[in-house]
């Protein structure tokens, strides 16, 4: 059975989540109660910038937890997507926040004011 | 399953022979590291691509035996 030809419902779920919502954070736990320090930092940064985002809890299913890693070719969680594009994990989000780049990027996308 | 700092450094050195590499053991538990890697290999690449190169060099250890590795990557100035 080939993963590339078989229909992959997890891939489709992720693809439609990032297509449907402008800012999506795949995280451990939920925004109100993150279950990992790295996820918590990303939530705090997005909240601080006033960005509306959807948090997807990867701990709800092991398929999703593995699927998101394959989707982005990225081995860790959290993962931030803006307008369907993978922006980065916790280090990149933190670095872009501290340089002001993330704010400028989200403003440029019309996602914060 | 933790990984020794010297082993982590050797793996990164293997992947980026030309690089300046500084590894810090953040928690002293062999499981939470920070690595700063400055290599020509990163020239012209986005941060996501730079980190993907590092994860590739780690050959599947990231997210497995290596729980936390904070990355800072850059091309030489």
Delimit the domains of chain A by residue range. Answer: 9-108
Cβ pair A76:B72 closer than 8 A: no
Cβ pair A91:B72 closer than 8 A: yes
Q: Are B56 and B44 in contact (CB under 8 A)?
A: no
Residues A38 and A99: their CA atoms lie apart, in Å, by 18
Tokens of residue A56, six digits = 């997807």
B6 versus B66: the higher-pLDDT residue is B6
pLDDT of residue A2: 45
Q: Give CATH for domain A9-108.
A: 3.40.30.10
**B67 pLDDT tier (thresholds 50, 70, 90):** confident
Q: Tell me the ipTM for this assembly.
A: 0.83
pLDDT above 80 for B1:
no
Residue of B nearest to A66 (CA): B63
Nearest Cα to Cα of residue B69 among A98, A35, A74: A74
CA B11 to chain centre: 8
How close A87 comes to chain B (CA, Å)?
7
Which of A73, A91, A97, A98 would you mutate first to test chain B, the one with the most B CBs within 10 A? A91
Tell me the domains of chain B and their CATH numbers.
Answer: 5-74 (3.30.300.90)
Cβ pair A92:B48 closer than 8 A: yes
Q: Are A112 and A103 in contact (CB under 8 A)?
A: yes
* Residue ranges in chain A assigned as alpha helix (H): 9-20, 37-49, 62-72, 90-99, 101-108
Question: Which residues of chain A fall short of a pLDDT of 50?
Answer: 1-2
pLDDT digits (tens, 9 = 90+) for B23-65: 999 888 888 899 999 999 999 999 999 999 999 999 989 878 8
What would the DSSP string read from start to end of A23-48?
EEEEESEETTEESSHHHHHHHHHHHH
């Amino acid at each position: 059975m080939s993963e590339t030809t078989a229909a992959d419902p997890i891939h489709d779920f992720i693809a439609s989540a990032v297509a449907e919502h402008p800012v999506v954070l795949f995280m451990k736990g939920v925004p109100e109660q993150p279950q990992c320090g790295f996820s918590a930092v990303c939530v705090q940064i997005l909240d601080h910038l006033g960005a509306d985002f959807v948090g997807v809890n990867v701990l709800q299913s092991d398929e999703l937890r593995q699927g998101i890693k394959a989707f982005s070719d990225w081995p860790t969680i959290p993962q931030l997507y803006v307008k369907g594009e993978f922006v980065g994990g916790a280090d990149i989000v933190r670095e872009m926040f501290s340089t002001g780049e993330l704010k400028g990027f989200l403003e440029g996308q019309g996602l914060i004011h | 399953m933790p990984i020794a700092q010297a082993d982590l450094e050797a793996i990164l050195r293997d992947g980026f022979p030309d690089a300046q590499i500084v590894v810090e053991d953040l928690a002293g538990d062999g499981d939470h590291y920070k690595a700063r890697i400055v290599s020509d290999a990163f020239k012209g690449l986005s941060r996501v691509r730079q980190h993907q190169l590092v994860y590739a060099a780690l050959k599947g250890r990231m997210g497995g035996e290596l729980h936390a590795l904070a990355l800072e990557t850059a091309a030489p100035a």
